[in-house]
Structure 1
Amino acid sequence: MLVLVTGGSGFVGAHCIRQLLAQGHRVRTTVRTPSKEQAVRATVEPDADVSFAVVDLNSDVGWATAAEGCDAVLHVASPFPGSAPKNPDDLIVPAREGTLRALRAARDAGVRRTVLTSSFAAIGYGHRDYDRVFTEADWSDPDGPELITYSRSKLVAERAAWDFVDQEGGGMELTVINPVGILGPVLGPDLSVYVEVIEQLLNGKLPLLPRLNWGVVDVRDVADLHVRAMVEPAAAGERFVATAGTTSLPRIAGLLRERLGPAAARVPSRTLPDWGVRLSARLSPRFATVVPDLGVVREASSAKARDVLGWKPRPIEETVLDTATSLAALGLLTSA
C-alpha cells in the first residue's frame, strides 16, 4: 500500500513511518517545510521508499497532491504546545481545520480508510467524577472546569472528523486512536511534551516532583496500533484507547533512580506540594496547564484494542527506561 502519514517529522509520525516501511508499505509523508525532509530521512534508512509533500494545517495548498494515489492515510499531525496559547483559537483552529483538510484530501483521492490520531484528552477530561475506568464510549465534557485548551482542541478536532465522515465522507472509513501520555525511544532532537519531562528529570531541571498521575503508552505501540487499525476490517468506524496503564511522576522518578544509577543522579526525590504548583502557575504557563490534574487519577481501558486488534502494549517500566536510554544515545543528557 501507499500510505500518507501526516506530520512525519513528529514523534508519533516518525515511528509510524518506520513500522510501515518494516511491513513493506510505501510511505508519503507531509512536512511543513522542505528543510524537514532531511530530519525525517535521518530516522529511517537513507534509501527507504519515502516521498514528501509540503503542506500546512492552516492552508489548503498541497493537500490534494499529498493524498493523490494513496490507499490509506494516517493523520498524525496536530499542534501540541508546551504551554497554553493566549488565544485558544491559535491551537483549536489548526487542530480542527487541519484534520478536515486531511479528510477532504483523502476522500477526494479515493482513500479507503483514514486513521486519525486523537487523544485520551477527548475522552477522560472535563468530568465531575473520576472514580471509574474510561473507555471509547466516553467523551470529554467541553464545559468541564479543567478542560485546558489542548484537550479542547483534540475534542473539537475528533468531533469534527466524525461529523465530516458521517455527512461528507462519501463512504470513506474512519478509525480513531486515542493515546494517553506517549513516551518511548526518541528518534531526533525534537522532544514531545511527555518525553521532555523525562529529559528535565534526568538533567535536574525539575528539583521537586508535582503530584501528577499519567496514563502512559509506548510510541512504538501507538504506531503499531495505527497500522493494525489501518488494515483490520473490524476497525472501521471505531475508536481505540491506547494505554499501558497509569503511573505517577514520583514513581517514574523512583524508577529512573533505581535502574539508572549514576545516570539518574540529578533526578529529584522530593515531592512538590500542590500549593507550590499553584503558586508556580502564577508565573509559569506550563505549571498552569497541570494544576487541574493535581492528585487526579484517570484510569482507562485498552481492552477494545487488545480484543479487536490483538494489540499488546509494553510494560510502563520498559517504556520509561527506553525513553531515558534514547535521550542518552542522542547526547541530550548532561553529565552530573
Structure 2
Amino acid sequence: MRVLVTGASGFIGSHAVAALLADGHKPLLLVRNPEKTRRVLANLGVVEPVSLHEADIRDTVAVRSGLEQCDAVIHAAAEIGVISQAGDSAGTNVAGLKNVLGQAVELGLDPIVHISTIGVFVPPAGPVITTESPLSAPRNDYGRTKVLGERYARQLQDQGMPITIVYPAGVIGPYQPSLDTLMEGLRAGLKQGWPITSGGAGVVDVRDLAVVLARCVEPGRGPRRFMLGGHYLTWAQLADVCDEVTGGRCRRFRVPRAVLRGAAAALDAVKLIKKIDYPLTRDAVEMMVTMVRTYDTPTLEALGVELRPVQETIADSLRWLAQEGHLPPVKVGRLAGKVTP
C-alpha cells in the first residue's frame, strides 16, 4: 500500500518507515526537514530512495496534498513534553492531528493509524491499564493536548471510521534523533543513579512498536485500539536489568513518592533560571510513581507480534547511548561497541 507517514524524521516514525519497507509497502513521508529525514533514515540502513512530501502538519492544504497520493496513513508526528517544555503542543497535537485524521477520513484512506500514548490514561484508575480505561486529566499542556487529540480520534471511531489507535508506553531503543523521556531516564540512571520509588515503567522496544504499526496497515478492519505497554518493570527491576546487561552496578537511592514529587517541583523551579542536566520534572515523576501494568495480550495476538526480551532492548539502548557520546563507555561496561541497525 501507499502509506503516508507523518513524523518520519522522529524516533517512532523513522523506525515505522523501515518496518513498512520491510513489509513491502511504499511510504510517502510528510516532513518539514527532508535533509534531516534522509540522515535519520540512513542511520537505520534505509538507503533506497524514499518519496518525501515537504509540509507542516499544521498546513491543511499541504497535508491534504500528501494524503491524496496515498491509500493509508500512519500519524506519528507529535510534540513531546514530559521531561522538557514542548513546542507548539496545541498546534501539533490537536490542530495538526485533526488535519491529518480528519482529512484522511474525508478522502477515504483505510486504515488511518494514530500513535497515541499510555500517558492519556495516567494516573491510572485501576491496577491494570486497558484500551477501555478512563482517560486522565493531565496537569501540563502536553498531556492536555494529547487527551484532546485522543478524544477527537475516538469521535471518528464512534462514527465507524477506520481509525486505529496505538498506545505505547516508554519507547526506547537505538537511533533516537533527540533523547526524550525513558531514554533520558536510562542515561541519568547510569550516570547519577536510580531513584527507587513506587510505580515503574512500561518498556517498549521501538523496533517492536514499528512492527506493530506496520501490521496495523490492513484495510477493511474498521475502528481498532491497541495497547502496547511492553515489559512492566519496577524501578528496582529496571536498575537490576541495567546491571545484568552491563556487568556493573548502578547507584540506587530510595525516595518516597511524596519526597520525589517535592524534589521534582523544586527542580522545575531551579531549571527556570539554571540549566540542570537531569530529566526529573514534576510531570515525569507523576508518570514514574503511578504507572501500572498494561493488558497487551489482545494486541500481540491480533497482530501476531512477539516482544523481544527486555534485556535485549535495554542492552541495545545503552550500547547506542555510549556510541553516540550520551554515556561514557565505562558506564555501559561490557556493552561498549558499535550498534548495527
Q: Give the TM-score range, shorter chain.
A: 0.7 to 0.9
Native 8 Å contact 1:208 1:268 kept in 2: yes
- In 1, Cα distance between the equivalents of 2:180 and 2:202? 15
State the identity as a percent. Answer: 28
Q: Distance in 1 between matches of 2:123 and 2:66?
A: 36
State how 1:45-194 maps to structure 2 within 5 Å: 45=45, 47-83=47-83, 85=85, 90-122=88-120, 124-127=121-124, 129-130=125-126, 132-142=127-137, 147-164=139-156, 166=158, 172-184=161-173, 186-194=174-182
Match of 1:315 among 301, 306, 309: 309
Alignment partner of 1:217 out of 204, 223, 226: 204
Confirm or deny: 8 A CA contact 1:243 1:313 kept in the other structure: no
In 2: Cα distance, 1:297 partner to 1:332 partner = 26
Q: 1:276 offset after TM fit, Å?
A: 3.9
- 2:334 aligned residue: none
Contact 1:116 1:176 in 2 (8 A): yes
In structure 1, distance between residues paired with 2:57 and 2:209: 22
Query: Higher mean Cα deviation, 301-310 or 29-38?
Result: 29-38
- Paired residue for 2:226, among 234, 240, 243? 240
Equivalent in the alignment of 1:253: 239
> Contact between 1:9 and 1:36, CA under 8 Å: does it hold in 2?
yes
SS state at 2:316 partner: helix
Q: Bigger shift: 246-255 or 69-78?
A: 246-255
Match of 2:42 in 1: 42
Structure 2, unaligned runs of 5 or more: 269-279, 331-341
Q: Residues 78 and 95 of structure 1 are in contact (CA less than 8 Å); yes or no, is this contact kept in structure 2?
A: yes
Q: TM-score, normalised by structure 1?
A: 0.84
* 1:229 aligned partner, one-letter code: C
Unaligned residue ranges in structure 1 (runs of 5+): none
Matched length: 318
In structure 1, the residue matched to 2:273 is none
- RMSD of the TM alignment (CA)? 2.6
Provide closer, same or farther for how the CA distance between residues 59 and 308 of structure 1 changes in structure 2, counting only shifts above 3 A.
same
| 1:20 to partner: Cα distance | 0.8
TM-score (norm. length: structure 2): 0.83
Letter in structure 2 aligned against 1:228: R
Which position in structure 2 is the counterpart of 1:289? 283
- In the TM superposition, residue 162 of structure 1 has moved relative to its aligned partner by 2.5
Distance apart, 1:277 and its partner CA: 1.9
Q: CA deviation at 1:208?
A: 4.6
SS in 1 for 2:20: helix
